[in-house]
Amino acid sequence: MELSERKLKILQAIIGDYVRTAEPVGSRTLSKKPELGYSPATIRNEMADLEELGYLTHPHTSAGRVPSDKAYRLYVNALMEKKELSKEEKNIIAERLHSTTDEFEKTIEHAASVLSEITNLTSFALTPKKNEDVLKFINLLPVDECTVVLMIVSESGKVSNKAVHMSVPYTEENLQLLSKTMTYNYKGKTISQALTNNIIANFETDIVAMSGLAEDVMPNFMRTLEDMLNVNLYMEGLTNIFDIPEYSDLSKARSFIEMLSQKEELTKKLIERDDGIIVTIGEENSDDIMQDCSLITASYHVDGKLVGKIGVIGPTRMKYGEVTSIIEYLTDNLNNTFKLESGGNKENE
């Protein structure tokens, strides 16, 4: 069912109010708004419809309405207005990004920090692998009865080794077969491509026959890739969460912080996200503990090549329009910075 013009207007007003106040919004409050010249009763009727359609919920009988994830999704897709940043905001961003010396990592760190300050949310940034290295071949070498060495070689000549303890016996034949299959599947892929789940899925169907072997090897393979990728995760404004009424409950704040403390998992989740500005709202997030968070990420580029990620995480009740505008401006700015600065001297080991 298409929503009528009036329903959309009411929904938009509810979202706007709720995002601002964090209080369920009632019919009386809405009818007072000049752009909504209806009586509370009319609005109540519409709200009841919207609730039936799944756009609103009701904390309890005598409370106002609260937008659902579905409502936020509609809002982000269609209703939301992007906010033009004020001159001061633009200045703050530009200044903070360029005040720094020309160290790449520091610039990213500052970007995350300015992002969290302006949005009052928790921000993070993922630095890119400096050169997106491509896998060349994968080898498994027998060491003793229950140990093999996993060797990964990249086009750029980087070699990584890892000893793997096998829980099942193996034959050299099997080992070679697995090496070949892995090489066949991963050769030519970049490390970050190899790290995204979908490739693994395809791959695992290929080698059902020797899955016992693969189960020992694959986790180690993935971990070694992570080490090779060597991205850094910066996080800023972690304690902003305490200013958000939804998290005034200790146990909620706790699980939020607990989630963000798991850096490896978070990193993987961020790497897997598509490029461009991506908004995932509440239950759209695959992760259980993110069910009442929204995540907005964007990718930024260095030398035109695609790579790093930056974004914020906060309650589903967030200023989507404002935050996406800020992130857009910020990533544009980052992209320009890393384009002009032709060969910035990064510190080297």
Partner DNA sequence: GTTAGCACTCTTTACCCTCGAGTGCTAATC
Partner DNA sequence: GATTAGCACTCGAGGGTAAAGAGTGCTAAC
Query: What size, in residues, is the chain?
Result: 349
Asked whether position 65 contacts DNA by CB under 7 A, the answer is: yes
> Least CB distance from residue 230 to a second copy, whole Å?
9
By C-beta, is 61 or 77 nearer to DNA? 61
The DSSP secondary structure of 39-84, one letter per residue, reads -HHHHHHHHHHHHHTTSEE-SSTTS-BEE-HHHHHHIIIII--PPP
Q: Which of 177, 257, 277, 278 binds a second copy (CB under 8 A)?
A: 257
Are the C-beta atoms of 315 and 294 separated by less than 8 Å?
yes
Q: Are strands 122-126 and 56-57 parallel, antiparallel or unpaired?
A: unpaired
> Least CB distance from residue 261 to a second copy, whole Å?
6
From DNA, a second copy, none, interface partner of 29 (C-beta below 5 to 8 A by class): DNA
What letter does residue 25 receive in the DSSP assignment? B
Neighbours of 297 (CB within 10 A): 24
- Dist CA 307 CA 11 (whole Å): 37
> Distance from first CA to last CA of the chain, Å, rounded?
61
Asked whether position 67 contacts DNA by CB under 7 A, the answer is: no
> Least CB distance from residue 206 to a second copy, whole Å?
27
Name the residue type at position 62: S
What letter does residue 190 receive in the DSSP assignment? B
Q: Which of 254, 305, 339, 346 binds a second copy (CB under 8 A)?
A: 254
> Least CB distance from residue 43 to DNA, whole Å?
8
Helices (H), the chain: 5-21, 27-32, 40-52, 69-74, 87-99, 104-119, 172-186, 191-195, 197-206, 211-229, 250-261, 263-272, 320-340
Tokens of 231: 């991205």
Q: Which of residues 144-163 bind a second copy (CB under 8 A)?
A: 160-163
> Least CB distance from residue 54 to DNA, whole Å?
14
> Least CB distance from residue 126 to a second copy, whole Å?
17
By C-beta, is 4 or 262 nearer to a second copy? 262
By C-beta, is 227 or 265 nearer to a second copy? 227
- Dist CA 315 CA 290 (whole Å): 9
From DNA, a second copy, none, interface partner of 48 (C-beta below 5 to 8 A by class): DNA
Asked whether position 289 contacts a second copy by CB under 8 A, the answer is: no
By C-beta, is 39 or 147 nearer to DNA? 39
Residues at the contact surface with DNA, assessed by CB under 7 A: 23-29, 37-42, 44-45, 47-48, 51, 58, 60-65
Residues at the contact surface with a second copy, assessed by CB under 8 A: 101, 160-163, 227, 238-239, 242, 248, 250-251, 253-254, 257-258, 261, 345, 347, 349
